[in-house]
Chains A and B, each alone.
Chain A
Amino acid sequence: MAEKKTDLIIRFGGEGGEGIISSGDMVAQAAVRSGLEVLTFKTFPAEIKGGYAMYQTRFAHDKILSEGSGFDVMVAFNQEALELNKKFLKEGNALIYDYPGGDITEEQNIPGVHCYPVPMSKISKEDIGNYRSKNMVCMGAVAELFSISMEQIRGTIQSKFGKKGADIVEMNFKALDAGRDHVRSNIKKTDSYKMDSGKTAENTIIISGNDAVGLGALMAGVQYFSAYPITPATEVAYFLARHLPKANGNLVQAEDEIASIANVIGASYAGLKAMTSTSGPGLSLMQELIGMASMMEVPVVICDVQRGGPSTGLPTKHEQSDLFLAAHGCHGDAPRVVLSPEGVEDCVYLTVEAFNIAEKYQLPVMVLSDGSLGFRTASMKKPDPSKLRLVTREKYEGNGGDFKRYKLTESGVSPMSIPGTPGGAYISTGLEHAESSAPRYTADNRTAMMDKRFKKLDNLEDFFQPTEADYQDGAEIGVIAWGSTIGVAREAVNEARAAGLKVSALYPKLVWPLPLKAINKFIGKHKKILIPEVNKQGQLAKLITGETGCVPISYTIYGGMPFTPAMIAEKIKEISK
């Protein structure tokens, strides 16, 4: 009686440290092994232990664009999770909860909702003899209820715990089976959700946004990385700490963010591709040296995984509010480039592009990711490193003559001499300087050098494809979204079109300087421009107004969570009236 569903969202909620995240991960991995597309989403408190943690996994046959609007199945590990999610339960949803013997003390009977009590705590304590196996019991039950391949879950357990020994693997298998058996003997399935397995998984990986940034850097040829730990960016450093030394590169954990960017500038001056990663407060600290890199014309890549600010703000929550800081947060006029990835796959390829732009134009390039994207895992096609375009800086070869490090050129880019190059010695400096690099403050020189540095930004729209346009004939409404809101907007646009509305969309991956050719064209074709973004001031909307004069409809939320497709679709409907 259960119909096959091609798009299913399971949410796990419970106490932090209870195995919520590993349950979600395990289900996600198993689904990818079964050939499904997967996208996960998690939120957790800023404390190490305790507090409500949530992990949601969405599976489908086709590419998944966002974490979705709500969920189909809720798995409540404790009373708090149950209470927090009850209001989101819709007619036809399924609820699995730990009862009896767990923290939830009452049997649930919510009208319209399929409620399945699974005594996960009791089974894990009494039958398995290990309280920590609760999440495995849960997974067995979930797999049985929604036809998720047990074989694939076993495979994931084997590869995850194999190293820890056969005993651990066996114990997990036993817990898994106990969960399944409980459902088989005690529960009559009444909901309609059933996960169909997909095509065979081929050339697919599942990776988090933060790891994807690290992978992009590694594929681009990063050789030096320095960072200071900060949520939600630290996993970028974890990734490179593991893998960079294998590539004979070095990772230096610096004493603070200022030292991190300083280290990176030194390493890049010395000729290596170098990068740092941070989050808002760290990016604030780095600004003086980002300006210095801009002035010295040293290529650097900075990944900023945005969180809720200002100040310590919402350290584990989602926000897109560092755009002003990334674009303008520096004293003086300091050219830099800001890219913002839409999803996990973009995290890989835009990071590669960030290195290309930094190297090509010899300036700082930022990758603006965000907390929900950094922590999200998603399936993606295996990248093929041999197919990448990799750009390296134009170097002075030391063939004699009068070397001028800051030579005024048509493109604003001058060949860079790497230490060791005979005849190429120069002083890289934050002071205004002549072509030779010697300090010079005359008005003519200052103007020429300022123009030279800014010239580099002129042709970015030709150097790489910075926007994706999705025009619909006759549309009067145009949506512009950036960063991880793009995926949500894509779904919202699809939803609105399905409801008969005409709407176009523009998705800039380059958010500073603005890709004005594409933006002006798009604005010119639509009567109303809607810009949804997760910040208070409508930062992209304001930048667009400043550069184009167009005043868009700015739709902002700033509660610490991303948009849902339903919210944006609703807004499109509202403004189309």
Chain B
Amino acid sequence: MTTTATEPLKSKDYKSEVPPTWCPGCGDYGVLNALLKSYADLQLDINNTVMVSGIGCSSRIPYFVKTYGMHTAHGRVLPVASGVKVARPDLEVIAFGGDGDGFSIGGGHVPHVARKNTDITYIVMDNSIYGLTKGQMSPTSPLGMVTSTTPYGVPDNPLNPLSFCLTYGATFVAQAYSSQGKVLTDLITKAIKHKGFAFIDVVSPCPTFNKVNTFDSYKGHVEDVPADHDVTDVNAAIKLANQSRAEGKVLTGVFYQVEKPTLLDRLGEIRKKAGGSADFDVNSVINGYVP
């Protein structure tokens, strides 16, 4: 929800007094900065914005911003955020988490917000490692990477968050790179404006625990999504997502965006069918139990 205040808010006006707890050089600083800029671009109302997060380094982000927020449990950010949005469609609800939070412990929730097309924005700060618990493999860690729980190398194939979300029907899927501030800011703005479930996978390197997916390693491998890519073609988007990852590329930009009925639309239809009304009298239900 946007407001037109007499004095436009600047990105620093959205910053809370709580200083970020991330390590020096963490990619998540880039996400926070882009986020604050996007909020200012949209002139988001601080009182009508709720940032919901799971658990992990990235999930501390609500504390660093002045809006309403919920720092929830590991993996449960999406259903909590969904509850907030369905209860209060007037609120702007933005969900945050990391790759472990979103695709390992919380992986079971993603298909359902995607297929329901719940009207929330979900930003995953993907560093391919568990940072807060000090460097264990995550579902996006590359095969063979040595981590504290995989001293002989990761034995599992990495999950591709983009094709995962595309497959289950997310209506906005994008990828960004945390140090590309302008691109990321614009993508966040687009995602927040999108009606329905909007997902951004932000490649956000962890300089402390992930010595493979480093800023250096991405040099020369970050490119724009091809200009001729059709963002309304889901199969093309899945192909692009899988191919680019296989080639070790980080394509930034929108992979897919279409408009479809959202969970809020459908629940509205149900209330209409049921004859929903503010004048509802519970006695009408009670009388249905008179034999």
Contact = CB atoms under 8 A, between A and B. Distances in A.
A425 B286 CA distance: 40
Given A248-B276, A425-B67, A439-B63, A430 B88 contact: no
Nearest to A431: B71
Given A424-B47, A427-B63, A246 B83 contact: no
Contacts of A226: 83
A238 B215 CA distance: 53
Interface string B68-106: 111111001011111111111011000000000000000
A274 interface: yes
Contacts of A159: 291
Given A252-B82, A422-B47, A270 B276 contact: no
Given A219-B282, A259-B79, A420 B87 contact: no
Contacts of A256: 108
A265 interface: yes
A429 B71 contact: yes
B81 A438 contact: no
B109 A259 contact: yes
Given A218-B282, A430-B71, A32 B108 contact: no
A537 interface: no
A33 B80 CA distance: 45
B31 interface: no
B72 A274 contact: no
Interface in B52-69: 52, 62-63, 66-69
A207 B282 CA distance: 15
B258 interface: no
A245 B86 CA distance: 13
A259 B106 CA distance: 10
Contact of A288 (B62, B67, B73, B267): B73
Contact of B291 (A29, A219, A265): A29
B140 to A, nearest CB: 22
Interface string B183-206: 000000000000000000000000
Contacts of A223: 87
A32 B291 contact: yes
Nearest to B272: A245
B285 to A, nearest CB: 5
A426 B68 contact: yes
A255 B109 CA distance: 7
Given A205-B290, A255-B108, A430-B72, A266 B91 contact: no
B82 A263 contact: yes
Which of A256, A265, A385 has the largest number of chain B CB atoms within 10 A? A265
A270 B50 contact: yes
B152 to A, nearest CB: 32
Interface in A11-37: 28-30, 32-33
**Interface residues of B toward A: which range?**
35 or more
Interface string B223-243: 000000000000000000000
Contact of A207 (B18, B83, B289): B289
B283 A224 contact: no
B83 A264 contact: yes
B72 A262 contact: yes
A439 B63 CA distance: 9
Which of A201, A255, A266, A430 has the largest number of chain B CB atoms within 10 A? A266
A133 interface: no
A258 B63 CA distance: 24
B291 A206 contact: yes
B271 interface: yes
B128 to A, nearest CB: 25
Contact of A438 (B63, B83, B90, B278): B63
Contact of A271 (B85, B87, B289): B87
A218 B283 CA distance: 10
Interface string B267-291: 1001101111110101111100111
A459 to B, nearest CB: 28
Contact of A425 (B47, B273, B275, B278): B47
Contacts of A419: 47-48, 50, 68, 84, 88, 91
Contacts of A426: 68-69
B271 A270 contact: no
B73 A425 contact: no
Contacts of B69: 425-428
A254 interface: yes
Nearest to A382: B286
A60 interface: no
Nearest to A385: B282
B159 interface: no
A530 to B, nearest CB: 36
Contact of A245 (B273, B286, B290): B273
Which of A30, A245, A264, A288 has the largest number of chain B CB atoms within 10 A? A245
B112 interface: yes
Contacts of B46: 425
Contacts of B91: 270, 419-420
A263 B291 contact: no
B25 to A, nearest CB: 22
A487 B18 CA distance: 55
Contacts of B290: 204-205, 382
A292 interface: yes
Contact of A205 (B71, B270, B289): B289
Contacts of B67: 425
Contacts of A288: 73
A159 B286 CA distance: 16
Contacts of B79: 254-255, 258-260, 262-263, 266
Interface string A308-344: 0000000000000000000000000000000000000
Given A267-B86, A427-B70, A430-B73, A248 B63 contact: no
Which of A226, A242, A428, A439 has the largest number of chain B CB atoms within 10 A? A428
Contacts of B63: 427, 438-439
Given A258-B76, A419-B88, A383 B47 contact: no
Nearest to A245: B274
A421 B68 CA distance: 10
Contacts of A420: 47-48, 88, 90-91
A272 interface: yes
Contacts of A345: none
Interface in A348-394: 382-383, 385
A143 interface: no
A289 interface: yes
A231 interface: no
Which of A30, A226, A246, A288 has the largest number of chain B CB atoms within 10 A? A246
Given A32-B291, A252-B83, A262-B80, 15 more contacts: A205-B286, A205-B291, A218-B285, A245-B270, A247-B282, A248-B280, A254-B112, A258-B79, A266-B80, A269-B83, A271-B88, A289-B76, A292-B73, A419-B68, A429-B71
8 contacts: A205-B290, A215-B285, A247-B280, A258-B76, A262-B82, A263-B80, A265-B80, A420-B90
Interface of B: 18, 46-48, 50, 52, 62-63, 66-73, 76, 78-88, 90-91, 108-109, 111-112, 263, 267, 270-271, 273-278, 280, 282-286, 289-291
5 A-B pairs with the lowest CB-CB distances in the bound complex, closest first: A266-B83, A262-B79, A245-B274, A267-B87, A205-B289
